[in-house]
Amino acid sequence: MKIDFIVCEDNPKTRKTICDWLGIYTNNKEVQLLLATSEPEEVLAAIQKEEGIKICLLDININKSINGVALAEKIKSINPHTKIVFITAYAEWAVESLNRNIEPFAYLTKPLDRQTFDWHIKRLLKKVNELYNGQAYGEKEVFIKLEAYGRSHYKKLETITHVETYHKEGYLTVHTLQGEKIIHRSRLNDMLLNLNRLSPDTFLQCYKSIIVNPRHIEVIDKKEGEILLKGGKKLFMSRNKRVQEEIERKIMGSYL
């Protein structure tokens, strides 16, 4: 399996920092830094010509004819399996990327932090390896039936970001990637058991009233007891060390 990193950043100092940090991951023939540039056209040319799995780290606010979001959109139209990591100083761009259905793997905020950078790159390489080895790619889609008040919804398990207790006892609110809030009649413990029956060892209870899908976690803040999802939603996280370690294990897997 050949993995190529592509960096598009118009600040030379930041671009060099990213390339230097990638050095510990690109020291073999299978994982390489294919291109580091400030020109979107060079990125598109590399995506079209080169084979292998591409991981693109894109500056959203690149000072060119198109910004990083538009560039990512073009990249996805050429190769939808390309993994995108956005670099930005402006959190509001996350909404724009979601509106365009780009689904980036992560956002790196400026000024860049080495620990956060490594955390995301390790997660991403783990995900790519899972896809290549068939552990995630091409798996049969699993649906769950959500029902309450005479209404039934059938949702792909992978689209569920988190589940919270509803204000009425015995009911839950199920949140999805599409921003839906679906009421479902169930208790939290029963829901967790059902979710993990359908998708073993995936979902976990991160707080007394919340179940989370770790695949959609962007950042965990142990000090504040918070989880940040990729869409920008913040959730409470237990301060219990065992729970926090379990969350990290499911996110990072063998890289911990």
Domains of the chain with bracketed CATH? 3-132 (3.40.50.2300), 143-255 (2.40.50.1020)
What residue has token string 């359908």? 198
Query: What pLDDT score does 140 carry?
Result: 58
Could you read off the pLDDT of 95-110 as tens digits, one per residue? Answer: 555 555 577 888 888 8
Alpha carbons 158 and 215: distance in angstroms, whole number: 8
- Give the C-alpha distances (Å, rounded to integers) separating 153 from 46, 148, 164, 196: 42, 9, 17, 19
Alpha carbons 67 and 65: distance in angstroms, whole number: 7
**Predicted confidence (pLDDT) at residue 136 exceeds the cutoff of 50:** no
The answer to pTM > 0.85 is no
Could you read off the pLDDT of 7-45 as tens digits, one per residue? Answer: 999 999 999 999 999 999 997 778 999 999 999 999 999
Helices and strands (H, E) in the chain, number of each type: 7, 15
Alpha carbons 80 and 72: distance in angstroms, whole number: 10
Query: What pLDDT score does 255 carry?
Result: 36
Average pLDDT of the segment spanning 201-215: 93
Average pLDDT of the segment spanning 154-175: 94
Average pLDDT of the segment spanning 54-67: 89
* Burial of 141 from C-beta contacts in 10 A (0-12 / 13-18 / 19+): exposed
Alpha carbons 48 and 42: distance in angstroms, whole number: 10
**Predicted confidence (pLDDT) at residue 138 exceeds the cutoff of 60:** no
The CA radius of gyration of the chain, in Å to the nearest whole number, is 19
What residue has token string 């860049």? 112
In contact, 126 and 253? CB cutoff 8 Å: yes
